[in-house]
Structure 1
Amino acid sequence: MEEFRSLGVSETVLAALEQKGFDTPTPIQALTIPLLLNGDTDLVAQAQTGTGKTAAFGIPVLDRAEERAGFIQAIILTPTRELCMQVASEIESLKGKKKLSIVTVYGGQSISLQIKQLKKGADIVVGTPGRVIDMLERGVLDLQGVKYVVLDEADEMLNMGFAEDVERILQSVNPARRMLLFSATMPQRILQLAKTYMGNYQNLVAKREDVTTALIDQVYYEVRADQKFNALARLIDVEDNFYGVIFCRTKAETAELAQQLEARGYPSEALHGDVAQAQREKILQKFRDRKTQILVATDVAARGIDVTDLSHVVNYHLPYEAESYVHRIGRTGRAGKQGTAISLVSPSERRLLGNVRHAAKADIRLGKIPTNQEVLQRRLDGLKVQVSGVIASGGTRDFNALAAELLSQYSPEETVAALLKHAAGPDITNMPEIQPIQDRRRDSSERGERSDRRDRSEDSNQTRLFVAMGRRDDMSKTDLLNYIQQETGIRPARLGKIEMFDSHAYINLGEAEAEKILHVFTTKYGRQNPLFTAAPKEKRAKSKSSTSGWGGDRDKKRSKGSKGSKSRSW
């Protein structure tokens, strides 16, 4: 606690920190807190998930806030409603006995209720860009007295298409405010935003070795794509207390994997963009209460999840970006506890593994999938402990008569063995072993798909489709491929070259695939404002500004002058 005191933190906040069990500041907190408490410059801080960044800006904001000031003293912007609620909850727990009102404004909750809370008086507002602008336009949010503006996960905010919204909000705040920008990465867009709105600012960086904690054991398993589920099940089987998040790429895969795990006897829930907000909060609460053992989620849906005691994070598929890998595994190995990050790597993902290792500077060791006998032995060891515990508790009296009846018909060994087999779960002894991948070459089917995709990319006679969405809609090439596969069943290997622009994209593909895509999306959404249209290869359609939000966890974007625009989510 003395270390926090030496940073200049007040006794009121120190008492709250002590009650939460915080006694030593994290590296980003040690860098940020004294500068915000004592300095007057703006700050740009680079830090990953799990580094204590909420307290890094929350502590000084709370310390400098005045009780009963009568105006909003700080505005904190977050990219998602989940992160908004998480940040507000953390700040509420840090304020101690200080009488400050913290109000959240985000989509998915009654706007009238939020307006009522704002009118009662707010000292600190935490919100998502879309809803904050709604409040500004309704005249119920006055930011002219704001002393602090915080952008949390600024890179995610810009990736999700909120650049214009953020700038609109920054133009509405007190010009004399101090600004703090937190971002996991520092792309050019972030630096330009800082240059435009922050003037003189100071850069702070939490070193990567502080971010990718040594408390995380990172291991990967080489396994064919069609054997991933069986490999995952065995890895869960041999763990005593598996409690974790499994990351998938698409909604469909997320839902399917959760169903498979549930059928195998692991309490599991799926979290993706189609899950309604009320249901989402119930799922997360069940997971926090450990009524659910496993959460299967997409990257977008998992933003803002804050569960501190995860034993495992599993990459069912490796992410395409190293930063996403760091974000994922950062959800375990927290609060001084050991965690494990597992990656299931098919032959086609070896290059991704190399990219992740290089970019994230990660020490990821190769693991060996447990054999049938190893899984069975682990189950038997667990059953022995459980049975010994039941006998020691003396809770067998009601079963004595049944035991006597069975023993009169069968030998003691047969009876006990049968009961143990029944209790051990699915019979694994007759399942085929998961064979290790012996060579480093891709199998023939994967080589064929890669070759087929390359041929399609270079085929001058293939069809060209125009896609009425682009980077501003938070869509990447990977997202587009996954979205098409999810909606049509067409695998990415069957598609050709993709050209991505800010407001639109082009995709080259075979005639049969193009017809299927146009048919599926026309049937689903109708012919007005089509997402996909045919585009002659020799002509380029003019850039069209898309007004549809397509991320499941982002606020619905506003139409800017276009009529009949339809919001799509995936």
Structure 2
Amino acid sequence: MQENAQTNKIQHEDAPTITFADLGLKKEILESIKQAGFTTPSPIQTAAIPFVLAGRDIVGQAHTGTGKTAAFGLPALNNINPNNGVGILVITPTRELATQVSDELYKYGRNIGARTATVYGGSSYSRQIDLIQRGASVVVATPGRLLDILKKNLLKNFVPQIVVLDEADEMLDMGFLDDINEIFSYLPKERQTLLFSATMPKPIKLLAERILNNPEFISITKGETTNSDIAQEYYVIEESERDDAIIRLMDSEESKKSIVFCRTKSEVDRLSNVLSNAGYLANGLHGDMEQRQRETVIKGFKSDNIKVLVATDVAARGIHVDDISHVFNYHIPFDSESYVHRIGRTGRAGTKGKAITLLTPLEFKELQRIKAKVGTTMTHAFVPSKNDLKASNLKSIVTKIEDQHIYDEAHKILDLLKEDIDEETIIFKLISMILDRQTIAGPNAIGIPADKLAAILDRADKRRDSRGGAGGGRGGYRGNRSRPNGGGDRNRSSEGSGSGDRNRSRDGGNSGGGYRGDKPREAGSTGGGYRGNNSGGGDRNRSRNRD
């Protein structure tokens, strides 16, 4: 296979606006698209779907977060018979990505009755084989466990019509290239093969030549390998300033959800503790963690119980969350491919993102090399000073106060406070509370959590009711239900339930894998297999995985 006149290389930079219905998909698939909340196809979907529907092999290159899963999943599901065994095999580099892809493919195929099974290391082979043989239409697998199953000839009549290599360059980086070549020796020769990758290093091009048949090349890159929706900045610091710099930048950026990339597992553990001690909802993710711990951390990150994920490169592969606002490179990555994958965690699904890289003067040449190879624009900026942060925080608070909706409950609280404090002092105290907290929490303008606000309002209503009775005493503990006669400590009303251990709210260890619609997953079950079952699969632990 060569990139010659017989193989078109397509640049769909200005594809016309069309709908999914225009692409020729079945009505059941279109209904699934509607249920998933999609409106118009992305450029990679517009370009790839017609070729996949026509049965062509394709090589798709597009930024991470541009909708590649739907680009191959929708037309592949459209073309298979869900009642005729495994029709689609998707190979992904990590367990986390395998679970996510399986979840998405289930959503797309549920209206045609397609069942998905996820295969990765961590459970018995016999369990996984049984689950697949019971009627999976789609198998999503990591390379190590899939190769083990194929070499032991444990799958009978395993002849998928469509084989997809997802995030091929990540599999190359993780050392799975030999496994991929061997896996294809067990697959049927007559098949449709789809390869998707954010970058196209030479080994991936050579792989495509071996396993694809006269493919269509589709490139949605606009001449760059990074997403134009991602603003990229770098900050030159001294080595000893990294911790202080990352905290100041996170404070000044007001990031909603972010990933901080580190080079080593020990660095992940240390930095996650530093950020937690600085008040961030931070947690670490690396390869030495048990699978259940990894799943718990990722679930907490997706559900906003964790706002800052500190991770190694390999551990963060496959974490595709659409609302990540910032990526921080605590250290500059080793190569340009790692840089592309790191910053691709933000700016997804049409949203804006920002990537920030810290480096020392000695690392500046390495940044220039990455910048030239990636073909992107990076802006040099300066770490804000303490005075800059203070001014930024004050400006942010003023803006929030100006924009804050006034709730009826606020008037009740003000009436209550005015009994003992003048209005100017109330204003000063409330602004001081905001300055202490740095952020405005909950649905009210003064930073009082919802449970405390409800308790205050309840006490305020009871006080008003008690005023009508004879002998209602003034003063006393402001937070008590009945006030003793005389004075008291009026500051007691500020007491209330605290936030507690922020990790306690997370559901631990829920698994991926399995047929959707089986019994609900139980906490503590492991991943893999048909959705809802308690045992799972997984990619064998390979020494080549660096994290």
Q: What is the CA-CA distance between 1:194 and the residue it aligns to?
A: 2.9
1:261 to 268, 272, 275: 275
Structure 1 residue aligned with 2:47: 31
- Is residue 2:206 matched to residue 1:192? yes
1:556 to 520, 526, 541: 541
SS of structure 2 residue aligned to 1:9: coil
Distance 1:171 1:143, change over 3 A: farther
Q: What is the CA-CA distance between 1:228 and the residue it aligns to?
A: 1.8
1:161-180 correspondence to structure 2 within 5 Å: 161-180=175-194
Flag structure 1 segments of 5+ consecutive residues without an equivalent.
Answer: 426-552, 558-565
Distance 1:567 1:415, change over 3 A: closer
Structure 2 residue aligned with 1:5: 21
Distance 1:352 1:393, change over 3 A: farther
2:248 to 227, 234, 237: 234
Q: Distance in 1 between matches of 2:224 and 2:108?
A: 23
Paired amino acid for 1:280: R
Q: Deviations over 1:142-164 (max 9, x none)?
A: 35432111111223323323233
Q: What is the CA-CA distance between 1:284 and the residue it aligns to?
A: 0.9
Paired amino acid for 1:212: T
Q: What is the CA-CA distance between 1:274 and the residue it aligns to?
A: 1.0
SS of structure 2 residue aligned to 1:136: helix
Distance 1:264 1:76, change over 3 A: same
CA contact (8 A) 1:72 1:142 kept: no
- Is residue 2:314 matched to residue 1:329? no
Q: Distance in 1 between matches of 2:171 and 2:145?
A: 14
SS of structure 2 residue aligned to 1:340: strand
Q: Distance in 2 between matches of 1:336 and 1:320?
A: 28
Q: Relative to structure 2, which stretch is displaced further, 236-245 or 388-397? A: 388-397
Q: What is the CA-CA distance between 1:81 and the residue it aligns to?
A: 1.0
Distance 1:60 1:374, change over 3 A: same
CA contact (8 A) 2:174 2:544 kept: no
Q: Distance in 2 between matches of 1:195 and 1:391?
A: 63
TM-score normalized by the length of structure 2:
0.71
Structure 2 residue aligned with 1:525: none
Flag structure 2 segments of 5+ consecutive residues without an equivalent.
Answer: 1-16, 440-537
- Is residue 2:110 matched to residue 1:125? no
Q: Distance in 1 between matches of 2:18 and 2:137?
A: 28
CA contact (8 A) 2:224 2:376 kept: no
1:378 to 388, 392, 397: 392
Q: Deviations over 1:495-538 (max 9, x none)?
A: xxxxxxxxxxxxxxxxxxxxxxxxxxxxxxxxxxxxxxxxxxxx
CA contact (8 A) 1:143 1:172 kept: no
Q: What is the CA-CA distance between 1:247 and the residue it aligns to?
A: 0.9
Q: Distance in 2 between matches of 1:314 and 1:291?
A: 19
SS of structure 1 residue aligned to 2:19: helix
CA contact (8 A) 2:119 2:539 kept: no
Q: What is the CA-CA distance between 1:345 and the residue it aligns to?
A: 2.2
Paired amino acid for 2:263: R
Paired amino acid for 2:26: S
Paired amino acid for 2:81: E
Structure 2 residue aligned with 1:67: 82
Q: Distance in 2 between matches of 1:60 and 1:181?
A: 14
CA contact (8 A) 1:84 1:128 kept: yes
Q: CA RMSD in A?
A: 3.1
Q: What is the CA-CA distance between 1:382 and the residue it aligns to?
A: 5.0
- Is residue 2:68 matched to residue 1:53? yes
Q: Deviations over 1:433-468 (max 9, x none)?
A: xxxxxxxxxxxxxxxxxxxxxxxxxxxxxxxxxxxx
Q: What is the CA-CA distance between 1:23 and the residue it aligns to?
A: 2.6
Structure 1 residue aligned with 2:101: 87
1:106 to 111, 116, 120: 120
Paired amino acid for 2:333: P
Q: What is the CA-CA distance between 1:99 and the residue it aligns to?
A: 0.5
Structure 1 residue aligned with 2:31: 15
Q: What is the CA-CA distance between 1:371 and the residue it aligns to?
A: 2.1
Structure 1 residue aligned with 2:291: 277
Q: Distance in 2 between matches of 1:215 and 1:93?
A: 27
Structure 1 residue aligned with 2:354: 340
Q: Distance in 2 between matches of 1:205 and 1:387?
A: 46
Q: What is the CA-CA distance between 1:290 and the residue it aligns to?
A: 0.8
CA contact (8 A) 1:286 1:292 kept: yes
Structure 2 residue aligned with 1:320: 334
Q: Which has the higher contact order (CA 8 A, sep 6+)?
A: 2
SS of structure 2 residue aligned to 1:205: strand
Q: Distance in 2 between matches of 1:190 and 1:203?
A: 13
Q: Distance in 2 between matches of 1:199 and 1:414?
A: 72
Structure 1 residue aligned with 2:314: 300
Q: Distance in 1 between matches of 2:411 and 2:271?
A: 37
Q: Distance in 2 between matches of 1:567 and 1:363?
A: 33
SS of structure 1 residue aligned to 2:342: helix
Q: What count of residue pairs does the alignment treat as equivalent?
A: 431
1:43 to 58, 63, 67: 58
Q: Distance in 2 between matches of 1:110 and 1:346?
A: 48
Q: Deviations over 1:14-69 (max 9, x none)?
A: 22222223233223222221111114x42222333222211111111100011311
SS of structure 2 residue aligned to 1:331: coil
Q: Distance in 2 between matches of 1:61 and 1:28?
A: 15
Q: Relative to structure 2, which stretch is displaced further, 416-425 or 326-335? A: 416-425
SS of structure 2 residue aligned to 1:217: strand
CA contact (8 A) 2:65 2:349 kept: no
Distance 1:75 1:20, change over 3 A: same
Paired amino acid for 2:147: I
Paired amino acid for 1:356: I
Distance 1:378 1:189, change over 3 A: closer
1:403-552 correspondence to structure 2 within 5 Å: 422-424=436-438
Paired amino acid for 1:155: D
Distance 1:415 1:306, change over 3 A: closer
Distance 1:214 1:196, change over 3 A: closer
CA contact (8 A) 2:60 2:217 kept: yes
TM-score normalized by the length of structure 1:
0.68
Q: Distance in 2 between matches of 1:352 and 1:151?
A: 31
1:222 to 231, 236, 246: 236
Paired amino acid for 2:31: A
Q: What is the CA-CA distance between 1:415 and the residue it aligns to?
A: 6.3
Q: What is the CA-CA distance between 1:420 and the residue it aligns to?
A: 5.8
SS of structure 1 residue aligned to 2:196: strand
